[in-house]
């Protein structure tokens, strides 16, 4: 069986690289972690993976990004792909934006920066054979 994907979207490449490395380590390479530096790039990546028949486990998006903010992005993702798990990752989210995303995109959760392993394990529980280290 092919691995599922986690898509991370943030305009800060340093955050993306750190997040990708941590998710790979914490989940023991259970997922393929792909990154996008904008909402537009994230949508393109999701569409390509879906078209290729790949399974996406979750989409994780920063809120404060130039162009399209994370709440708008996740609402758009939900409109096109309602089955995907959507997580907002932020240090600056507007409470109204979080509430709107919960209502309009079935936001699974909002994780604050700096994040912890436990934050992600609550949002995306590891499979039964995964053990935190």
Domains held by the chain: number: 1
Rounded to whole angstroms, the Cα distance separating 7 from 68 reads 16
Answer yes or no: is 131 within a domain. Answer: no
Across 19-28, 46-55, 90-99, least confident range: 90-99
Q: Check if the beta carbon of residue 107 is closer than 8 Å to that of residue 82.
A: no
In a domain, 130, yes or no: no
Report CA-CA distances (Å) from 82 to 2, 76, 78, 129.
Answer: 21, 9, 4, 28
**Residue 65 forms part of a structural domain:** yes
**What predicted TM-score, i.e. pTM, was given to this entire model?**
0.92
Residue 128 counted as domain residue: no
CA distance 109 to 62: 12
Instruction: Identify the domain containing residue 62 by its residue range.
Output: 4-123
pLDDT, tens only, 26-75:
999 899 999 999 999 999 999 999 999 999 999 999 999 999 999 999 99
Instruction: Determine, yes or no, domain membership for 119.
Output: yes
Residue 48, domain CATH: 3.40.50.2300
The answer to whether residues 46 and 57 touch, using CB atoms and an 8 Å cutoff, is no
Given pLDDT bands bounded at 50, 70 and 90, which one contains residue 128? low
129 lies in a domain? no
Q: Which long-range contacts (CB under 8 A, 24 or more apart) does 74-77 make?
A: 74/101, 74/105, 74/107, 75/100, 75/101, 75/104, 75/105, 76/39, 76/43, 77/42, 77/43, 77/46, 77/105
20 lies in some domain: yes
pLDDT of 126: 87
Residue 133 lies in a domain: no
The whole-number pLDDT of residue 133 equals: 42
- DSSP H stretches of helix in the chain: 13-26, 39-51, 70-80, 95-105, 117-123
């Amino acid at each position: 069986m092919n691995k599922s994907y986690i898509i991370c979207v943030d305009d800060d490449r340093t955050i993306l690289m750190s997040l990708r490395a941590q998710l790979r380590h914490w989940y023991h390479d259970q997922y393929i972690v792909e990154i996008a530096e904008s909402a537009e790039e994230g949508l393109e990546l999701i569409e390509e993976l879906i078209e290729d028949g790949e399974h996406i486990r979750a989409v994780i998006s920063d809120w404060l990004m130039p162009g399209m903010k994370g709440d708008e992005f996740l609402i758009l993702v939900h409109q096109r792909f309602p089955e995907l798990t959507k997580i907002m990752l932020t240090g600056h989210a507007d409470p109204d934006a979080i509430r709107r995303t919960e209502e309009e995109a079935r936001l699974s959760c909002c994780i604050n920066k700096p994040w912890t392993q436990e934050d992600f394990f609550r949002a995306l529980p590891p499979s039964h054979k995964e053990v935190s280290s």
